[in-house]
Amino acid sequence: MKIVITGGAGFLGQRLAARLLERGKAVDGEGKTRDISELVLFDIAPAVPLADKRLCYISGDITDPETVRTLIDENTDSIFHLAAVVSAQAEEDFDLGYRINLDGTRLVLETARALPHLPKVIFTSSIATYGGTLPDVVTDETAQLPQTSYGCAKVMGEYLVQDYSRKGFIDGRSLRLPTISVRTGLPNKAASTWASSIIREPLCGRDAICPVSAETQMACMSPAKVIDALIHAHDLPASAFGMSRSLLLTGISVSAREMAAAVDRQRRNRSIGSIHWEADPAIQKIVNGWPKATRSARADALGFAKDESLDEMVLGFIRADLDNQLKLYDAGV
Residues marked active site are found at 150
Q: Which SS3 state, helix, strand or coil, does residue 202 take?
A: helix
Distance in angstroms (rounded) separating the CA atoms of residues 193 and 211? 10
DSSP state of 129: G
Report the C-alpha gap between 256 and 274 in whole angstroms: 14
Half-sphere exposure of 177 toward its Cβ, with a 13 Å CA cutoff? 23
Helical packing angle, 149-166 and 104-113, nearest 10° = 10
Q: 50: which residues sit within 8 A by CB, 6+ positions away?
A: 14, 17, 18, 21
Which residue, among 211, 216, 138, 134, has the nearest Cα to 176 in the 3D structure? 138
Contacts of 112 (CB under 8 A, 6+ apart): 72, 76, 79, 119, 121, 164, 169, 170
User: What would you measure as the largest C-alpha separation in the chain, in angstroms?
Assistant: 59
Per DSSP, the three-state class of 284 is helix
How close are the terminal C-alpha atoms of the chain, in Å? 37
- For β-strands 252-255 and 179-180, DSSP reports them as unpaired
Bridge partners for 38 per DSSP: 2
Question: How far is CA 72 from each of CA 15, 52, 84, 257, rounded to the nearest angstrom?
Answer: 21, 20, 17, 44
**What is the rounded distance in angstroms from the CA atom of residue 284 to the CA atom of residue 256?**
12
What is the crossing angle of helices 223-235 and 11-23, to 10°? 60
